[in-house]
Amino acid sequence: MIAIIDYGSGNLRSAAKAFERCVQETGLSEEVVVTSDPDVAAKADRIVLPGVGAFKDCKDGLQSVSGMTEALTEAVLGRGVPFFGICVGMQLMASRSLEYGETDGLGWIGGSVSPLELSDPTLKIPHMGWNELEMTSDHVLLEGLADGDHIYFVHSYHVVTEDPSHVLATVNYGGTVTAIIGRDNMIGTQFHPEKSQSAGLKLISNFLNWKP
């Protein structure tokens, strides 16, 4: 069972539809469940954490679901359940965010959620629209993806990791912007795979078949 976590943030239906499509196309039998029940999350075989908006609002929303943070931590860190964070769901994996003050993250990947710093004053923040992937890793989850694949962003902050090896791919937007992070049984994308057409669906399919 693939649990997409509902904590009041994220385009849940779009994410669920993308995962359901990839389950069908890859011939798998997993059920995709959108849930705010920590008991369901704790038993899941794979976990997806979407998120849109401000980091603090998302963190507060997650903590407001009684027992959910503990269930996710036990599943992901304790049992090694494959985890996929999307947009702010990815940012929540970091140690902290510097958006509107400092807010603690889950601390699963060391680093800070920092504002985009653009060298080109003609570029706008938020970074919104399509951009081209630049691979920095040969991680198995990137199989079938390539430099130049187009992915869709809507964000003003990104994760700056303490360990550069945790950055799996970047894009260029007035400088280097983190696109994908990961370690162990965890992956996160700053972009929206459910809106990124073939590249996004390929990444989701890879995640569904991943055995970290």
- Cross-strand pairs, 114: 158
Catalytic residue among 22, 58, 87, 99: 87
Among residues 114, 150, 149, the alpha carbon closest in space to that of 129 is found at 150
Within 8 A by CB and 6+ apart from 78, the residues are: none
- DSSP code of residue 141: G
Query: Can 192 be counted among the known catalytic residues?
Result: yes
Query: Can 158 be counted among the known catalytic residues?
Result: no
Give dist(CA 128, CA 189) in Å, integer. Answer: 15
Query: Can 87 be counted among the known catalytic residues?
Result: yes
- Cross-strand pairs, 135: 169
Catalytic residue among 127, 158, 166, 192: 192
The set of catalytic residues is 87, 192, 194
